[in-house]
Structure 1
Amino acid sequence: MRRVFGSVRSRAALGATAVVAVALVAAGLAVLLVLRTNLIDQADLQAEVAAREVAGQLATGVAYGRLDLPEDPVQVVGDRGRVLAVSEDLEAVRGTRSRDVSPEDEPPADPDDDEDDVPASGEVSSDDARLGTGTATVDGETRDYRFARVEATTPTGETVTVYAGSPLDTQQQAVGEVRTAMAVGLPLLLVVVAGVTWLVTRRALRPVEGIRGEMAAITASADLSRRVPEPDTHDEIARLARTTNETLAALEASVERQRRFVADASHELRSPIASLRTQLEVAASHPGLLDVGGAVQDTVRLQQLAADLLLLARLDAGERPREGSRVELAALVREELSQRANDRVPVRAEVREQCEVAGSRGQLARVLGNLLDNAQRHAAAEVWVTLRAEGGWAVLEVADDGAGVPEAERERIFERFVRLDDARSRDDGGAGLGLAIARDVAERHGGTLTVGESPAEGALFTLRLPPA
């Protein structure tokens, strides 16, 4: 049960059904209220017309016993609640001034009255009729009525009250029929809404189920080259499929890059380890043949390679410079150059102004060191280091007068374990990690590292960093 109602399709069907149910119930109640009000107004109008008609007869002097009364209940009440006239077959009444349905005899005329003092006609009150609900029994049948109350004055000056009723059968029957129709039709309509919503949602979510199934297959097979199906629509599900495929492509590239990284790292580590092992094995058998310098060199190279791999691992994990740390690049350049007095090619520095940036001093020193090491390997006679501020950025350039970098290879050299001088020995060419580390560090500091052509037609590496 929880699984059924936990699906998006079920929740959508239930939600749509609930919303439609609330809307239909509210609309039905409004319809019933309007219908009932209109029918009651109609009954009130009929009752008032009947009451005024009887009151008009009284005002013209028609005797109580000769009144032309309608079939619906009518009661004429005088002062002190005396019932003067009632309609035919009226057996009981509630909702009027008097419950008496037996009219009193019409009083005889007073012979002492002066006929000249008697007005020719009476009058009907022009005020709005007072309305109310009551019951009446006519010819043995009791029904609900709306009663209208109208006052009239007879030609003799007597004020009487006329009560006329209009039955509510039509209103009650109409409201009952509408209520019954709603009670039967509303559940049927809700069933239709729920079914249509279920089918429509099922059709709309079918691509999502395809995406889920393919993702489950990819997870089970660990084959990141597979892709989820993309529907031909232009809705959110199609965008979800495209984003999922883009994520899979990025994940596949990342895994492939990691796999290649591990393979290249294993290959690079194998050489110094094998060389060091061979020297130690020879030294174990023939101590006099131990090449101490070569062993130290292999150990140093192995240590540097391990340090590079660890730094790349930290960068891949998203390590960023510590917040609040600042580095003065001019002092960093001077300090780094002071430690490279024995470089093969002399380095000429031109520090035009102070440039302070936010970041890790150790990582930025590593970038400058890697760029200088690369320049030393390729320079013919000289290396230049320039530091300046340009457009709000700190710009550090390292140039040489070597053969330069072919334009087609200027992005490839920043890939890991890539060496354009593969024909040379690893001792001279390095492991191919220096420039990759330099670019990763630059990007972690919010900057860029690019390569171009120097004025001496060699390589020009430009590091741009935002100011602190």
Structure 2
Amino acid sequence: MRSVRARAALGATVVVALAVVAAGFAALLVLRANLTDQAGLQAEVAAREIAGQLALDVPYDKLEMGDEEDHPVQVTDEDGRVVAVSEDLDAISGTGTDRVTPQPSAASSAAGDDDGRADDDRDDDDDDNGTADPGRGEVSTDEPDFDNGTATVDGDGADYRFASVEATQRNGLTLTVHAGAPLAAEQRAVASVRGAMLAGLPVVLLVVAGVTWLVTRRALRPVEGIRREMAAITASEDLSRRVPEPASRDEIARLARTTNETLTALEASVGRQRSFVADASHELRSPIASLRTQLEVGAAHPELLDVAGAVADTVRLQALAADLLLLARLDAGERPGNARLDLGALVHEEVSQRTGDRIPVTVSVPEAGGFEVTGSRGQLARVIGNLLDNAERHAEGAVAVEVRAEHGGAVVAVTDDGAGVPETERERIFERFVRLDDARTRDEGGAGLGLALARDVAGRHGGRLTVTGAGERGARFELWLPGSR
């Protein structure tokens, strides 16, 4: 099932179905329990009425048992022998014994034969003494026992709720009265409610499924709009388009805003990539064309070949290709190394290799040391080299490098006494292929990649690269890197 709407409708329907079935089952149990308790109460009333008669020593054949069909009665003695039943009782279950033929015990028969005389004697005693008979029978006040069973009265069988109540006669004989109340009303009510629930359940589920379908369709309509627009953007490759943003403040609106932000970032990234490719092609074309021209001249007139110029163009082309390759690796997400480096020693090493600089470099590194950082030796060496190249290119007579500890890390500061960088341009010089001095020739100036590469490497090492003024003249570039841990 691929449709979200269908899955949502099915899920809601299943949940509601389970909830309705559980609630209906609970309701039926409560209804059945209440109706069963009512039937038990009726049976208890009937049983206590007959037990009261037995406590007064009413003979078994004189017991008033009421409507036998509504309240079938069975009386048993202490031995479980049936001593009395209601009229037309053909069968019974749920009372402890299924016998329906009275079998009076000897004690109960004797008690019945002596009833008249005993009553007369008690009456005489009561008249003479004016006190109640201490041997008078009684009905148990304990909670009766209840059980479900069946009874057949005059050929008609039915389910009943039986209540068992004990009665003690004057002669000490304890009898148990089992009286029943019909459960037909309870069964009809439960069946009626169950039928109504079963009939209404499909209607309820159909309504739930339909409403969920419509609500989900309406809620997902903006998502479909986003999908269509994204498909159109993919087909047209026009990253300037944006998906529609709903006026609501729900998750779909946030999804649309996030999608548009992603498209904006993607458009900017693609723009930078296209600009980078165009600028790189432009920068590469110049040294390649110059080198080709020199080689063609040399091929035609060997005596006119400028070997030094060809080597310089080749070196410049090689450096530019290396910068482009490193930037490509950085853009691809290459992680810096995790080697522990002494930044002071790295600065000394880089400066010592620069034997052809037009201006000597002054190095200031405290002997105390403590300038260990973690990163890629090659990349950090390239950063220091680029900063020195930039300073040599713009300095008039002095270039200085200082290493110091600062804020839990190490700082490499490169200072020159050139024209400096205007404050409004101090961030733009870190963009790729940006050169502020347009008057310089390409042979004298760089391609505009060194500072951009240096800042990228610094950022990927957890550091930063900034530029400030160096007093009245010149520029000061500071590379801060976190210390090793």
Q: If the length of structure 1 is used for normalisation, what is the TM-score?
A: 0.93
Aligned to 2:386: 370
Aligned to 1:90: 89
Kindly provide the amino acid, as one letter, of the partner of residue 461 in structure 1: F
Aligned to 1:298: 313
1:214 equivalent to 2:210? Answer no
1:169 equivalent to 2:184? Answer yes
1:88 to partner: Cα distance: 3.7
Does the residue aligned with 1:428 lie in a helix, a strand or coil? coil
Match of 1:402 among 418, 443, 447: 418
1:416 equivalent to 2:432? Answer yes
Change beyond 3 A, Cα 1:64–1:227: same
Kindly provide the amino acid, as one letter, of the partner of residue 382 in structure 2: R
1:68 to partner: Cα distance: 2.1
Report the aligned-residue RMSD. Answer: 2.3
Does the residue aligned with 2:443 lie in a helix, a strand or coil? helix
The Cα offsets for residues 140-188 of structure 1, whole Å up to 9 and x where unpaired, read as: 3211111112222334544333221100011111111121122112222
Q: 1: CA distance between counterparts of 2:53 and 2:262?
A: 93
1:386 to partner: Cα distance: 1.0
Does the residue aligned with 1:427 lie in a helix, a strand or coil? coil
1:117 to partner: Cα distance: 7.4
1:269 equivalent to 2:272? Answer no
Q: How does 1:69-468 map to 2 (within 5 A)?
A: 69-71=65-67, 72-78=71-77, 83-101=82-100, 103=102, 107=109, 109-110=113-114, 116=121, 121-323=136-338, 325-352=339-366, 353-354=368-369, 355-468=371-484
1:420 to partner: Cα distance: 0.5
Aligned to 2:128: none
Q: 2: CA distance between counterparts of 1:335 and 1:111?
A: 133
Kindly provide the amino acid, as one letter, of the partner of residue 456 in structure 2: D
- The 8 Å contact of residues 57 and 115 in structure 2, kept in 1 or not, is answered as no
Change beyond 3 A, Cα 1:417–1:100: closer
Task: Name the stretch that deviates more: 257-266 or 179-188.
Answer: 179-188
Q: 1: CA distance between counterparts of 2:78 and 2:479?
A: 112
Q: 1: CA distance between counterparts of 2:326 and 2:102?
A: 115
Q: If the length of structure 2 is used for normalisation, what is the TM-score?
A: 0.90
Q: 2: CA distance between counterparts of 1:374 and 1:398?
A: 9
Q: 1: CA distance between counterparts of 2:9 and 2:357?
A: 76
Aligned to 1:46: 42
Kindly provide the amino acid, as one letter, of the partner of residue 179 in structure 2: A
1:397 to partner: Cα distance: 0.6
Number of residue pairs matched by the alignment: 463
Kindly provide the amino acid, as one letter, of the partner of residue 395 in structure 1: V
Does the residue aligned with 2:8 lie in a helix, a strand or coil? helix
Kindly provide the amino acid, as one letter, of the partner of residue 341 in structure 2: V
Change beyond 3 A, Cα 1:52–1:275: same
Q: 1: CA distance between counterparts of 2:467 and 2:184?
A: 96
Q: 1: CA distance between counterparts of 2:213 and 2:201?
A: 18
1:426 to partner: Cα distance: 0.5
- Percent identity of paired positions between Structure 1 and Structure 2: 69
Q: 2: CA distance between counterparts of 1:346 and 1:375?
A: 11
Kindly provide the amino acid, as one letter, of the partner of residue 139 in structure 2: V
Kindly provide the amino acid, as one letter, of the partner of residue 6 in structure 2: S
